[in-house]
Each structure stands twice: as structure tokens, then as C-alpha cells.
Structure 1
């Protein structure tokens, strides 16, 4: 691929997200979402192999279906109320359809089926873009929808935390584990989105931070499955020491960064008398924590599971590690200032 093409595609992805973030009209926001989708497809299909091609096809079909639902919802609202403004959407059917379409674009349960298979077929760099940047625009639109479907958001958020936990239990491929981790974390965001937008934003940004650290760590170690983590000590010993902390932060264990948003969400749900929802969500975290602990065990406490071949050894690599160093420290040590950030946004 010509070196200028990735720059063009990444610029188009940024343009699509920026257009959606700045739009107050449904058609402009829809155009931004479509630019986002079409710009990442060449990056996904860059490797001429059946797996990336299959993943690209599944991604395109899921995103096209979601885009059609969103466009249909905006047309229903324009037909019934005469308004194309995003913040003026007031018809219950239009709000419900728009919420479902945006949830499908993100990968929220029960509209999550495409996400694990698509992420498994991509390389780690494109998977990182799909798991982080591609979710900004849909969430920006979700925050502008009126709170007419709080029960729908609670149900989908709770389902996502459960599906994300159950789905990752028997997985051995790291990209599928990160896909189910994404579903579970975004379920937490969905739970609180209708009640506290600043807290949902902090939860989303914390998820982006932890996911960036995890994807970058696996990319530097060239790890694609659980067994390959047991030999990562030979490639980067210092990075291997940080690996368990990043994994446990994804699991939400105190005193790491991942614990902060979950603790504040459970506190908010309890203050709203949603005690059963808070209890079920907290219990669903134990499912996710189990497969995070499996990664922890394979990365630091298990002996290498070597295949009959040459063991990868520590060699100098010119890969940039400054972004990983910065995000890893934030992934581990950001907990004390999260309440201050929330009070500032409020």
C-alpha cells in the first residue's frame, strides 16, 4: 500500500468523527458516520487473506444495517414532528430506533454478534481503532437523545455486562477476549448514560485508556493468544511486569484506575434506588474478572508453554514505547483524581 493511503484513510476517519461531533442535523451526523465506516474498510481489508476479508464483509453489513435504522429513525421524527435537529427528537418510536441503531454500531448486546468475529479477523492496530475511535461518534449522538427510554438503556447495559462476562470465559484468542471486554465495559457506559452523562464520559475515556494500553502491549509482544503470553517475558521483561497490572485494571480491581468508574456508577445507581440493577452489574463483573485473572496467570505465574521451535528471545526493537509508557501509568495510577474529574465536569 502506498504510504500516503493510510494517512488519507485515517484523516477521513477523523473527518467523519469530527463531522458527527459538530452536527446538530441528523443528515450531517449520518454522513459523518458513513464516512467513518467507509474510511476504515480499506484498512481492515489491507491484508489480502480470507479472515480480514470476511471480517470486513461482516463489519460492512452490520454497519450498513445500523445506518439504515438510524436514517429511518430520523425520517420518522421528521415526518411526525417536522424536525431534523438531533436535540429535537421527541417521537418515542424514533428515539427507540435511533438508540438501537447506534447501539448496533457500537456493539452493545443483544446487537453485539458481529463484534467478536470482526475483531478476531483484524490486526491489532486496526482492532484498536475499531475498539476506541470508532465508538466516539455514536456515543456523541447517544448523549444528545432525550431520556425517553431509560428502561431500554438499563436492559441493554445489563445484558452487555453479562454477555461480555459469559462470552469471554472460554476464549483463548486475545482479540476475542478484548472484544468481549469491550462489550462489558460499554455496558457500564450504557447503564449510566441516561442518568449522568459526565460519568458516562469518564467511564468511556477510562475504557479507551485501558484498551489502548492492552492493544499496544499485545502488539509489542506480538501476542495473539493466551499461550503466547507465557513467553512474553523473553521479549520484554519490563513490559511483562506491567502486563498483570494493566489486565487487573481492565478487570476493575482496586486501587487501579479501572475500579474508579465502576465504583462511581454503582454508587450512582444505588442513590437512584436501582439496587437490583447495581447488584446484578456488580456480580457480572466477577465473570469478566475470571478471564482477566486467566490472562494474569498466563502472563506472570505460569511457566512457558513452548512448542517445538525456537523460543523468541529478547532483541532490540525500534518500536515506539513512549505512548504505551504514558497510558500504562495512567491505567494504573489515575484512580485518586477520577472523583475530581467528575466534579469538574458536573
Structure 2
């Protein structure tokens, strides 16, 4: 891609997200979502093949439908209240439609079908942007309208997303699909706490994004997309392979890694608000995520593929792809749990 074109696309995508996050007018929010959606389509089709074209088409259709729901909700609310303000979402029908539209943009269940398919059909860098940056705009709107949303619908979507995010990843061997289902589950955890404590949802987001960036960066460093290729990496880069597995276990929420912190705090907050059944179900469903990450770790580290003697010493050669930001991101993704008392004080 032409560097000038790439810079223009990235600037448009960033400005679209910032427009959504800083607006208090529904029309500007809609315009920001449209800028964001149209800017990321060329990034999804950066590799010109039928699979990426199919993924971009699925993404476009889903996001366009969600934008239509969002504008319809804003117009219904305008006719009812006479206001375009985000904080004036009073009409129950408009609130339900707005929650549905934002759930479609986030990939919450039952509107999750596009997330694994789109993530699988695009390059790793585009998948990273899709699962991190593209979540910021819808989550910022949900954060602003959280007192006005339909609580029951949001909690049902959250529980379904955690369940689908766990079950969907059980039979996957493609790492991009596994990361997509993990994203669906994490979005479910964020939605479950949004009603009671929106600030804790932001904490979950602040931890989820570095973990996803670290995992995708390490996969891009080695051009790894399947569990088989990850297994063969032991001969080339044993340390990097071990770090990828630890980061994935952190994504699954295994203590004492960083990913356990938001799950622990969210369950604690739900128990304080007498949501005992909800928190217990979420904790049990989180084991599904942890299971398929543990299975990847087992198949990669404890079952060695047959190799020749020459390939067993490849790790000794210098690897040219080195990134400066990788070590601090690895530390943030795996070793933040001892800082949890500070986090509780900030809360």
C-alpha cells in the first residue's frame, strides 16, 4: 500500500474514533462511526485475495446495519424528546435499538457471527486493529449512556457472549479465530460490569488491549497463524514461544497473571450487588476460555513434533525482527497482578 494512502486511511480512522468519543450529538456520533468503518475497509483488503474481500464485505454489511439501527434510534429519540443529545436517551424503544446497534458493532452475542469470520480472513495487523482500536468508539458510547441502557438485555448479551466466547474457541486450530472468540468473551465481561461500575469496565479494557497487542505482535513477529506453526516455533525461538503461551494464559484469566485481575474485580463487584448466580455462571464459563488456552499450551510445549537435528539449534542464530516496545508490553500483559491494591485504591 502507498505510504501516503496508508497515512490518510489511518488518520481518517483515528479521527473517526476521536469524533465518536468527544461528541455529545447523535449525528456526529453516527458520522464518526461511518468514517471509522469506511477507513478500515482498505486495511482489511490489504492482501488482495477472495478471502479478505469476503471478510471486508461481511464487516461492511454488519457495520452498515448497526449504523442504520443507531440512526433510527437517534431519530426515534429525537421525535420523542426533541433532543439530539446523547444524555437524553429516554425513550425505551430508542434505548433498546441503541444497545442493539452498539452490540452489533462490538460483536456481542447474538450478533457475534461476523467477528471470527472477519478476523480469520484478514492479515494479523488488520486483525489487531479490528480487535482493539475498533472497540473504543462503541465502548465509549456505552460508557456514556450506561445509566440509560436496558439492563436486562445488556446482562443477557454479556452472559451469552462469555458462553459463546468459550464454546466457540474449543474446536479451533486457527489462532486468529481463537483471538476473535477471546475478544467476544472479554466484551461480555465488560458488558456485565458496565451497569454496576462503568469505571471497572474501563479497567478491563485497559488490561485487555495490552494483552491483545502483545499476543498479536509476537504472532506477527513469527508469522504464526495456526497451532501447528506455533508448535514448530520451539526449534526456532523457544523463549518467544514460551512468552506467547504465557500471554495467552493471561488472556484466559489464569492467576497469578494479569488477566486474572479484571475477572477477580468484576466477580467481586457483582457479588457486592447481589448478582450471585450471574457471577457464579460467569466464573464457570471462564473455565472454557482457560481450557482451550491450556490445551494450546499443552500441545505446543509438552508434545514435540519430530524434527531433524539441524533445526534444533536454529534458536541460536540471531533473529532480525526485534521490536523495542515488546518487552514492556509483555511485562504489562503478565505481571501487573501485584499492583491490584493500587487499582482498588483508584477505584
Please say whether Structure 1 and Structure 2 have the same fold, judged by a TM-score greater than 0.5: yes
CA-to-aligned-CA distance 1:42-98 (integer Å, 9 cap, x gap): 111121101000000000000000000001001110010011011111111111111
Kindly indicate whether the alpha-carbon contact (under 8 Å) linking 2:89 and 2:148 is maintained by their aligned counterparts in 1. no
User: Would the alpha carbon gap of residues 235 and 8 (structure 1) be closer, same or farther in structure 2, given more than 3 Å must change?
Assistant: farther
Partner of 2:211: 210
Give 3-state SS (helix, strand or coil) of 1:143's partner: helix
Query: Residue 228 in 1 paired to residue 250 in 2?
Result: no
CA-to-aligned-CA distance 1:9-38 (integer Å, 9 cap, x gap): 111111111111110001111111111111
Q: Whole-Å Cα distance in 1 between the matches of residues 319 and 106 of structure 2?
A: 35
- Give the CA deviation at 1:298: 2.8
Partner of 1:260: 261
Q: Whole-Å Cα distance in 2 between the matches of residues 247 and 211 of structure 1?
A: 9
Kindly indicate whether the alpha-carbon contact (under 8 Å) linking 1:161 and 1:187 is maintained by their aligned counterparts in 2. yes
Partner of 1:322: 324
Structure 1 segment 1-346 matched on structure 2, within 5 A = 1-145=1-145, 146-304=147-305, 313-314=314-315, 316-344=318-346, 346=347
User: Would the alpha carbon gap of residues 312 and 60 (structure 1) be closer, same or farther in structure 2, given more than 3 Å must change?
Assistant: farther
Give 3-state SS (helix, strand or coil) of 1:231's partner: helix
Q: Whole-Å Cα distance in 1 between the matches of residues 26 and 112 of structure 2?
A: 24
- Give the CA deviation at 1:337: 1.9
- Give the CA deviation at 1:312: 11
Q: Whole-Å Cα distance in 2 between the matches of residues 85 and 73 of structure 1?
A: 12
Kindly indicate whether the alpha-carbon contact (under 8 Å) linking 1:25 and 1:84 is maintained by their aligned counterparts in 2. yes
Q: Whole-Å Cα distance in 2 between the matches of residues 42 and 311 of structure 1?
A: 40
User: Would the alpha carbon gap of residues 163 and 313 (structure 1) be closer, same or farther in structure 2, given more than 3 Å must change?
Assistant: same
Q: Whole-Å Cα distance in 2 between the matches of residues 125 and 49 of structure 1?
A: 16
Kindly indicate whether the alpha-carbon contact (under 8 Å) linking 2:90 and 2:148 is maintained by their aligned counterparts in 1. no
TM-score (normalizing by structure 1)? 0.95
Q: Whole-Å Cα distance in 1 between the matches of residues 306 and 82 of structure 2?
A: 64
Q: Whole-Å Cα distance in 2 between the matches of residues 126 and 312 of structure 1?
A: 33
Q: Whole-Å Cα distance in 2 between the matches of residues 73 and 31 of structure 1?
A: 15
Kindly indicate whether the alpha-carbon contact (under 8 Å) linking 1:106 and 1:138 is maintained by their aligned counterparts in 2. yes
- Give the CA deviation at 1:148: 4.0
Kindly indicate whether the alpha-carbon contact (under 8 Å) linking 1:199 and 1:342 is maintained by their aligned counterparts in 2. no
Superposed structure 1 runs of 4+ greater than 6 Å apart: none
- Give the CA deviation at 1:313: 4.1
Kindly indicate whether the alpha-carbon contact (under 8 Å) linking 2:162 and 2:185 is maintained by their aligned counterparts in 1. yes
Please report the RMSD computed on the Cα atoms of aligned residues, expressed in angstroms: 1.7
Out of 22-31 and 313-322, give the one that drifted further.
Answer: 313-322
Unpaired runs of at least 5, structure 2: none
Kindly indicate whether the alpha-carbon contact (under 8 Å) linking 2:236 and 2:312 is maintained by their aligned counterparts in 1. no
Kindly indicate whether the alpha-carbon contact (under 8 Å) linking 1:117 and 1:176 is maintained by their aligned counterparts in 2. yes
Q: Whole-Å Cα distance in 2 between the matches of residues 321 and 329 of structure 1?
A: 14
Q: Whole-Å Cα distance in 1 between the matches of residues 90 and 204 of structure 2?
A: 27
Unpaired runs of at least 5, structure 1: none
- How many residue pairs match? The answer is 343
CA-to-aligned-CA distance 1:243-292 (integer Å, 9 cap, x gap): 22111101101111000000010011111111000111000011111110
Q: Whole-Å Cα distance in 2 between the matches of residues 47 and 148 of structure 1?
A: 39
User: Would the alpha carbon gap of residues 35 and 311 (structure 1) be closer, same or farther in structure 2, given more than 3 Å must change?
Assistant: farther
